[in-house]
Amino acid sequence: MNVSAFGLIGLGVMGKSLSLNIAEKGFTLSVYNRTEGDEAHVVDDFINDTETFDSISGFKNMEDFIRSLESPRKILIMVKSGPPVDAVISQLKPLLDPGDIIIDGGNSYFKDTQERYEALKKEGFNFIGCGISGGEEGARTGPSLMPGGSAEAYSKVKTILEAIAAKDAQQQPCCTHIGSGAAGHFVKMIHNGIEYAEMQLLAELYALLRPFYNNQAISDLFSQWQQTRSGSFLLDISSKILITKEGNTYILDRILDKAGNKGTGSWSSETALDLGQPSTMMTSAVFSRYISALKEKRVDLRKRFNNQTESTQEPDLQSLEKAYYFARLINHYQGFELIKEAAKLYGWNINLAELARSWTRGCIIQSELMSKIAIWFQSGDDLIKNDTVFEHLKSNEPAVLDLIQNGLANRVPVDCFYQAYHFWIAITTENLSANLIQAQRDYFGAHLYQRNDTQNSKFYHTNWLDS
Ligand code: NBP
């Protein structure tokens, strides 16, 4: 029997597209999907699909699938995160040999990945948690890949992963070994956290503009920005979404304003809280989605306003673009700081310039800014201290203030812009009011405080009631 170079389990949206991408790059591939219930025909349908390549062999029996793979076996699991991943791993283990490589390409929570990595290592198997971004289209034509696990295991799958990945402006693959253990799934999670805030900023701009401009005009404005430093995949698709019609109606105008989520934004936010990192923008973007979900309550409360109109002050378009770039700088800064902190804690040696480079194509947060960040990281890993970044933030503070004031005047919530501004003000303030917090803590709980009139780092307590 001919053996395949690679195996893939899970012919869902992503699995099918990745399979075609792998085959197109000239690798022989075995694919497996379970055959429960309605899924009995999934493999046959895929293999019979006109686009399917001869180099793909389909299997409905796991033993046959495993036998069809060359050694060491390299198997990509593309199933939903959580229990399905463990179910597939349990099915695989008795059939595998030591040294075989399992890759989880789903959006798994990084702590699950770390546990699986350690447990499988003890049993002699290699496990790579690989973040994949780009959606269905990216998976088919070239996603951004974020593989973790051991460098040795990565070296055995590098050729295939790099072949299917998107290529950056210099034709280098948007795939780099991120770090050991769960590093790959960790950075994918933060990628999604950054994505949440990037999406929310665009939604807030749309909210500020729509009382004064129609969809076509907002789309035109976004298209203009697309040609500038503000260009990005998300800006581009937003510009297209704004003018897509169903008959004579814009589809956007018919979409209920209740945002869904699959949890990666809240995972990122929880992680920021756990690591003591002020990732305020992604967290605010998550909360904005949660508030949007309270549609019935919003409709109910709104009725008490007697249809009073609110938007009267037109926003200044130049300020908007400057404020947008400002807020995106803060968002990316916060995201990369969170990655740095986790890398320190978990002992991952993450090359930030390489990571940013691998996000310049193929993924949802690819942008002109990301290309600049990849270069800026080559001369230092503290983005906010970069002269260009700092000067931009400093000089565009008034534009963000202007945007926020416009939002407040028109009663348009702009939480994410507000968080960017607030963070910038706080991070550049020498004396915050936390001395009062420390005093309160010491007053009611004897939690101690440090003093600013000594050079030592000792902690002090005051008997407040006796003073
Ligand atoms: P789909 O829901 O389209 O496909 C999931 C696949 O998992 C199906 O083939 C399903 O088989 C299979 N599966 C499940 Br669910 N439980 C299984 C089990 N216990 N044993 C065997 N197979 C099982 O998901 P998708 O959109 O392709 O996403 C897959 C992963 O990739 C997810 O973790 C997702 O978060 C991640 N991801 C998705 C995107 C995207 O844009 N969609 C982007 C990046 C990452 P069945 O056919 O029998 O139900």
Q: What is the secondary structure of 179-193 as a DSSP string?
A: -STTHHHHHHHHHHH
Mean pLDDT of all residues in 171-188: 98
In the sheet that holds 56-59, the strands lie side by side as: 56-59, 29-32, 6-9, 74-77, 101-104, 126-133, 144-147
| Ligand 1 proximity of 15 Cβ (cutoff 6 Å) | yes
What pLDDT score does 307 carry?
67
Ligand 1: centre distance to CA 78 (Å): 5
Query: Is residue 309 very low, low, confident or very high in pLDDT (cuts 50, 70, 90)?
Result: low
Catalytic residue among 188, 322, 340, 372: 188
What pLDDT score does 119 carry?
98
Token pair belonging to 347? 């002992």
Count of CB atoms within 10 A of residue 381's CB?
A: 17
| Ligand 1 proximity of 45 Cβ (cutoff 6 Å) | no
| Ligand 1 proximity of 84 Cβ (cutoff 6 Å) | yes
* pLDDT of 126 higher than 80: yes
| Ligand 1 proximity of 12 Cβ (cutoff 6 Å) | yes
What pLDDT score does 2 carry?
73
Integer Cα distance of 117 and 181 in angstroms: 6
Ligand 1: centre distance to CA 143 (Å): 16
| Minimum CA distance residue for ligand 1 atom 24 | 12
Whether 188 is catalytic is yes
440-466 adopts what CATH topology? 1.20.5
CATH 1.10.1040.10 fits domain 188-427: yes
DSSP code, position 109: -
| Ligand 1 proximity of 33 Cβ (cutoff 6 Å) | yes
Whether 310 is catalytic is no
Ligand 1: centre distance to CA 10 (Å): 6
* pLDDT of 255 higher than 80: yes
| Minimum CA distance residue for ligand 1 atom 7 | 79
Ligand 1: centre distance to CA 12 (Å): 5
CATH of 6-181, one of 3.40.190.10, 3.40.50.11540, 3.40.50.720, 3.40.50.300: 3.40.50.720
DSSP code, position 3: P
* pLDDT of 389 higher than 80: yes
The ranges assigned to domains in the chain are 6-181, 188-427, 440-466
**Quick one: which atom of ligand 1 is closest to the CA of 37?**
48
Mean pLDDT of all residues in 53-78: 96
Integer Cα distance of 105 and 336 in angstroms: 22
Query: Is residue 306 very low, low, confident or very high in pLDDT (cuts 50, 70, 90)?
Result: confident
What pLDDT score does 1 carry?
64
pTM exceeding the 0.85 threshold for the entire prediction: yes
| Ligand 1 proximity of 86 Cβ (cutoff 6 Å) | no
